[in-house]
Structure 1
Amino acid sequence: MSEQDTTRRSFLAATGGAASAVALGSGLAGASAGQETTTEGGEQGTQTGQGQGQRSGGTLNLINSTMSTLDPIKATDTASGEVIQQVFDALMNYPDGNIEVQPLLAKNYEVSDDFTTYTFTIREGATFHDGSPVTAQDFVYSFERLAQSDNSRRSYFILQSIGVKHSTDADGNYQPDTLGVTAQNDRTLQIQLQEPFHATLEMLAYTSFAAVPEGIVGDINGYDGELNYQEFSTSAPVGCGPFEFEKWESNTEAAVTRFDNYYGKKAEVDRVHWRIMSDANARYTYAMNKNADAFSIPTQFYNPNKVNVTKTDNRGRKVGTYGPVRNGETLNFLAVPTINTFYIGFNTNQVEAAARKAAAYAMNKEQLVEQVFKGRGRPAYHFTPPAIYPGGNDAYQKHAQQEYPYSYRQTDLQKARQVMKEAGYGPNNRYSFTFTVYQRSNTWPQVGQLLRDKLSSAYIDMNIETAPFSTLLQRGREGNLQAYSLGWVMDWPAPDNFLQLLNPPLTDTSQSAPISYVNWSGTEASQRARQAWTTVQNNPAPTDKAERLRNQAYIEMEEANWQDCVFLNVYHETDQRFWYDYAQIPKFGAAGTSRQMFNGVTLNEPNAGGGSN
């Protein structure tokens, strides 16, 4: 990984963190976040429902955003992740993107009484696409790559997040080949942690921990490599997933084909094909021409009045129909509350507290969700999404309703003006700052315009500018943004995966790799947040007592953020998918679309969607 590594005590000091930092633009089949796991948000990703009596075969045609790599340890964008999920398998898995983690390559596992030793038995019969068997030694090599390769952007996942035992040099850098991962025999893998971590199994489901054949690339000590890195990461990746790599042409297309020797459920379709495109008009036209079987509808083309929900399941997923659409069809419809938060971040070094609080008073989150995002989400009052908030959705709502210090479910311009007057501003002494959004977004400029118009009457002139996603992130890391829009999607389903962004030391843009760009320090609230994060770090075990202490600390961090208004949380996005009748794809879960494997897909009419070959 190119970002700095730290100890778990300073936890995830890498930009992109453990979740997906996401730009706020348009994303189909997973939002591309360039080189970060930041999501684009605000425009949606792909998906489906279930059916009976399908015949197998054919090509599942989808739409994807720009991909960055096919190497599991380098990928941090969800566009690459969706393809990688088909080709590579890990020990654990989120089945169909549901957050209840289950074994995949692991047949079973045991955990020591002190929660520091995990022993996995690898399934018999699992083979890589090159025909070689999957062994425990392959995992030792794969995890060593994750920890030490210069190509790894997720080394903190194994060294700090999970905290696998390892040694460091005098400068705190990982010493190669000291990882506490051993192959006791071909089918038994043991992982030793420095201390307990409550989300170990959940993190091992992430594709960064996927198995690759031992020695496939020579980017770590002791291996010359069967392939050069460019080959492995772009044109010849070798995994053991239900599909094997076929092709990838940057900014054009990607495809995978069924792996007939897969150890698990063999794919029903012959292949999966993604057309890569970023323009919303082109995507919608492609879908309306039936070149895609399952897709998202960009927000500017979406009409909530065309939705007919026929069922809401026990996971809160809404199933129904949508249409008629431009081509005369009525589509199948699925809406899933996924685990994410989209927010406005304020650089506290450059935007005064009064202006930040005025923005919070001025913002009507319900209005934004309905008018700008067309009801595809819910207002965000906490940075922790409702599905993983301590106590769940009911506790989330109760705490927000009773304790949120600004304008709950409304705009309060009187208080916005009051807080600015108390700071010395008025009609003849106006305040100004700049709000930067992702240039491809069709929604967040509208958010900015609505907020700007309201703040004008509170003596604030808010300028709105757009920037390419990579530029936005680079300027943020350098401390050159005043206010910005981003989002965060889960890497593991727990509040610390989100609230790490509000750990004040990791917001310092004078450091080499801040995880957020707000420079939060020097206030009573920032000290509250820092102490609460220390409590989280000091109680990592999967025990009831540790969980209670973490939960109290999580809420303390949320309230500290409210106090200083560092992140102005805006909304939690609901992912939607639309599909034609002939395509049947199991419903995805709260972990999102990029976590779903497509070996459960069937087509009534193989190749019905057309697509490119």
Structure 2
Amino acid sequence: MRLAEDYLRLRSAYSGEKKGEPFQVTIDGVAEALYCTPRNARLILRKMTDAGLIQYAAGQGRGHRSELTFLADRRELVIREAQQYVRQGDVQGALLWVKERAGEHEVKQRFMDWLTGYFGYRMETIGEGRIVETLRLPIYRPIVTLDPADAMYAFDTHMIRQVHATLVELDRETDKVTPALALDWESSTDASCWTFYLRKGVTFHNGTELTADDVKYSLLRVQQEARNHSWLCRDIVEICAESRYKVRIKLRQPNVLFALYMSHTAAAVLSRDSGENGAGSVPGSLPVGAGPYRITKLLPGICILEVFQNYYAARGQIDRIEVMIIPDTGGEWSLETNPGVLIVETGEARRQELKAWRCSRLVTGCSMLTINLAKPGILQADSFRRALGLAVDRSRMVRDLGYPYASPCLGFHLEPNPASADPMYDPEEAARELRRSGYCGEVLKLYTYRRHEQAAYWLQQQYDQAGIRLDVYIVPWADLMKEERTREADLILFEALLNEGLLRQIEYLLSRYSFIHSMLDPGAQAEVDQLMGQLLQKEEPEARNEAFQQLQTWLSKRGTAVYLTYNEARVLSHPAQQGVRLNAAGWVDFKDIWFKGERELR
């Protein structure tokens, strides 16, 4: 790539010379154009000659001029180098390269047409008739972390489920916990001691067998206070590997949902032998799991997964998945409507639906504003927090913003048939509550990440009409997780994934790093912890549901958040593509995808 850059610099320095026509140069002139010494200039010219970019005939003797001929078309070279960036997993580098060197809109468009076609399904035959199927997917958000103990964002946890395995899984159809790495499990009568019986012969991606010691190592690691999901294992007082395939876990208090807890991605079983390198927490290392796919390449712009042949359950049908991260460019660059054969949409990139394709939709959760009750000032006024909820016209928000905003949301739960009208919106009552609060025009800080930028500025305008001033701060996904951000923020805008069920809701309320728990004042946090402890001891589902409803009512009365809209995810898939189904997080499980054949894709 450096050679191509030098070639383009030479073309710029000798802009009047045409491709294929020789012209006279001096080595000093070439060195000046390349910003290097004459000696280095000769080396670069030799490399360009070997690469077929130029013809060069050095002049003989002092003062004799040399002859140079440009052979490469500048536009073709720009596109070819950009393609090389992409193949190496650096789409952002490719876009920057084209932007700085294309010069003409035609070059940019040709590259984007190629990039669109680069994604999708490929089938090739290698060796003795072996067929390898590859699926390249454009994804419009970064991978923040693949460490199960720390992953908070939906796409991160989705990727973790492709790579790792847990003791048990939750069947979304029946809402029952089902066997996974554990064949069976049992608990004491008071649900304070749990025993899991492991499958024999399960191997990690590094070839070692998964045993009870790996389970113990993994859960103790999650329990560390610094981990984002330490809440999941905080009640564990003892883990005993009673045999190679049997592990007993003792809790400090009963938890009838502990088996459900073990289906959480944070409870993924890691290889003790691989240590932190295998956990994916060390830069440059590759995660080692026991899931259906293993990671063979992981860079900021690309994650390549290959099917794990020794996976204990059903083998994935797609041999290779290439997840390509498409950077946010503020709309300057956009792929065409049809990048390949599968498009998972969660709101970052907007597309028209393709009539010949199948489209599946799923309400995944709700957009909400959490209010920082730990900050002194106007946010401590109940009337002001009520004004924040009354001043938003959620129905208009849905109309103005469109997909993925689906319908008004009024609480921390999914409604089977949400109404299109917003009964909460009352600008006159909002004005009265604002006057009662003593609000004097203080500017509130609203933090969010790029995905919710449009909604954040829409809210800024909506609140401005009500007389409430907001400053919007768009920060990277990883930065929003930092404690200093939650301390600075008055409001955080994010989407709560409610479709993942009770366990995800418990996480939002117990994890000190969640955007709900972290914004509560210490007294409220202690109250929530106590109420959740009581809920986890109730054996009957009806009693647990009632306790959870009471907790939601308590949070609502405290004015801890402003609920905005239910959000959708959708997936567009080619008719030849099978097994495409949105999971609870709004993504597609790679191991379930398969294709009828190459012929149907044309």
- Of Structure 1 and Structure 2, the greater helix share is in 2
**Alpha-carbon offset, residue 256 of structure 1:** 0.9
Report the counterpart of residue 336 of structure 1 in structure 2.
362
CA distance in 1 between counterparts of 2:481 and 2:383 reads 25
1:141 to 193, 204, 217: 217
Query: What are the equivalent positions in structure 2 for 1:162-561 lying under 5 Å apart?
Result: 163-165=235-237, 180-217=238-275, 234-250=284-300, 252-279=301-328, 285-286=334-335, 288-291=337-340, 293-296=342-345, 298=347, 301-302=350-351, 322-324=353-355, 330-340=356-366, 342-347=368-373, 349-351=376-378, 352-374=381-403, 376-383=405-412, 385-386=413-414, 393=416, 408-409=422-423, 411-423=425-437, 431-438=441-448, 440=450, 441-456=452-467, 460-474=468-482, 479-489=487-497, 493-494=501-502, 497-498=505-506, 501=509, 515-519=517-521, 534-544=530-540, 548=543, 550-561=544-555
1:58 aligned counterpart, secondary structure: strand
CA contact (8 A) 1:345 1:486 kept: no
1:439 and 1:228 mapped to 2: Cα distance?
29
Distance change (3 Å), C-alpha of 1:534 and 1:233:
same
- Matched residues in 2 for 1:286 and 1:496: separation? 33
- Alpha-carbon separation, structure 2, partners of 1:607 and 1:212: 40
- Alpha carbons 2:306, 2:321 under 8 Å: kept: yes
Extract unaligned runs of 5+ from structure 1.
1-47, 49-54, 166-179, 220-226, 304-321, 325-329, 388-392, 402-406
Q: RMSD between aligned alpha carbons?
A: 4.0
From the superposition, tell whether residues 277 and 350 of structure 1 become closer, same or farther in structure 2 (CA, over 3 Å): farther
Could you say what secondary structure the match of 2:210 adopts? coil
Aligned to 1:263, the other structure's residue is in SS state coil
Q: What is the deviation of 1:270?
A: 0.7
Q: Is the 8 A contact 2:370 2:519 kept in 1?
A: no
Partner in structure 2 of residue 14 of structure 1: none
Aligned pair in 2 of structure 1 residues 607, 97: CA closer, same or farther (>3 Å)?
farther
Of stretches 291-300 and 433-442 in structure 1, the one that deviates more from structure 2 is 291-300
Match of 1:73 among 133, 139, 149: 149
Larger Rg: 2
Does 1:588 pair with 2:582? Answer: yes
Question: Runs of 5+ in structure 2 lacking a partner?
Answer: 1-119, 121-129
Question: Letter of the aligned partner of 1:164 in structure 2?
Answer: I
Between the aligned partners of 2:266 and 2:493, the Cα distance in structure 1 is 27
What amino acid is the match of 1:565?
A: G
Going from structure 1 to structure 2, the CA distance change for 1:344 and 1:118 (only over 3 Å counts) comes to closer
Q: Distance in 2 between matches of 1:551 and 1:276?
A: 39
Distance 1:236 1:446, change over 3 A: closer
Deviation at 1:443, TM superposition (A): 2.5
| SS of residue in 1 equivalent to 2:502 | coil
- Cα distance between partner residues in 2 of 1:532 and 1:235: 38
CA contact (8 A) 2:414 2:498 kept: no
What is the SS of the residue equivalent to 2:322? Answer: strand
CA displacement 1:85-106 (0-9 Å, x = unmatched): 1121111124579854321111
Compute the displacement of 1:467 (Å).
3.9
- What secondary structure sits across from 1:236 in the alignment? coil
Find the counterpart in structure 2 of residue 307 from structure 1: none
Cα–Cα, structure 1 residues 63 and 473, in superposed 2: closer, same or farther, change >3 Å? same
Aligned pairs for 1:562-573 within 5 A: 562-573=556-567
| Counterpart position of 2:590 | 598
More off after superposition, 559-568 vs 464-473: 464-473
Looking at structure 1, the residues matched to 403 and 566 of structure 2 have their Cα atoms a distance apart, in angstroms, of 13
1:337 partner SS = strand
In 2, Cα distance between equivalents of 1:91 and 1:498: 19
Q: Which residue of 2 aligns with 1:155?
A: 230
Cα distance 1:474–1:246, how it changes in 2: closer, same or farther (>3 A)?
Answer: closer
Secondary structure of the residue aligned to 1:274 is: strand
Q: CA deviation at 1:542?
A: 4.5
Listed one character per residue, the Cα deviations across residues 153-207 of structure 1 (whole Å, up to 9, x for unaligned) are 4333212xxx222xxxxxxxxxxxxxx2222222222222222213212221122
Partner Cα separation in structure 2 for residue 502 and residue 70 of structure 1:
21
The 1-side partners of 2:156 and 2:271 are apart by 20
- What CA deviation, in whole Å up to 9, does each residue of 1:487-520 have, x standing for no partner? 33369732883596499xx79x9xxx99322548
Aligned to 1:127: 203
Worse-matched range after superposition: 492-501 or 104-113: 492-501
CA contact (8 A) 1:520 1:566 kept: no
Could you tell me whether the CA contact under 8 Å between 2:223 and 2:231 is conserved in 1? Answer: yes
- Residues 441-468 of structure 1: CA deviation (Å, up to 9, x unaligned): 3422343144224303xxx444444444
SS at structure 2 position matched to 1:288: coil
- Residue pair 1:300, 1:442 contacting (<8 A) in 2 also: no
Q: Deviations over 1:355-380 (max 9, x none)?
A: 32222222122221232244643322
Separation of aligned partners in 2, 1:465 and 1:360 = 20
For 1:609 and 1:476, the matched residues in 2 are separated by: 49
Quickly say closer, same or farther: Cα 1:96–1:454, change in 2 above 3 A.
Answer: same
Distance 1:468 1:97, change over 3 A: farther
Letter in 1 for 2:232: F
Cα shift at 1:346: 4.7
Partner of residue 579, structure 1: 573
Question: Residues 499 and 557 of structure 1 are in contact (CA less than 8 Å); yes or no, is this contact kept in structure 2?
Answer: no
Work out the CA distance in 1 between the residues paired with 2:167 and 2:357. 36
| CA pair 473-67 structure 1, distance change in 2 beyond 3 A | closer
The answer for the alignment partner of 2:30 in structure 1 is: none
SS at match of 1:381: coil
Taking the aligned partners of 1:377 and 1:242, their CA distance within structure 2 comes to 33
Checking the alignment, whether the CA contact within 8 Å between 1:119 and 1:190 is kept in structure 2 is yes
CA distance in 1, matches of 2:527, 2:281: 46
Give the TM-score taking structure 1 as reference length: 0.66
- Residues 247, 255 of structure 1: 8 Å contact kept: yes
CA deviations on 1:517-557 (whole Å, 9 max, x unpaired) are: 25486xxxx6xx9657534323422412x852x54443344
Give the CA deviation at 1:597: 3.7
- The SS at the match of 2:160 is helix
* Matching residue's letter, 1:111: S
Aligned residues between the structures? 469
CA distance in 2, matches of 1:432, 1:123: 59
CA 79–514 in structure 1, closer or farther in 2 if over 3 Å, else same: closer
Paired residue type of 1:60: L
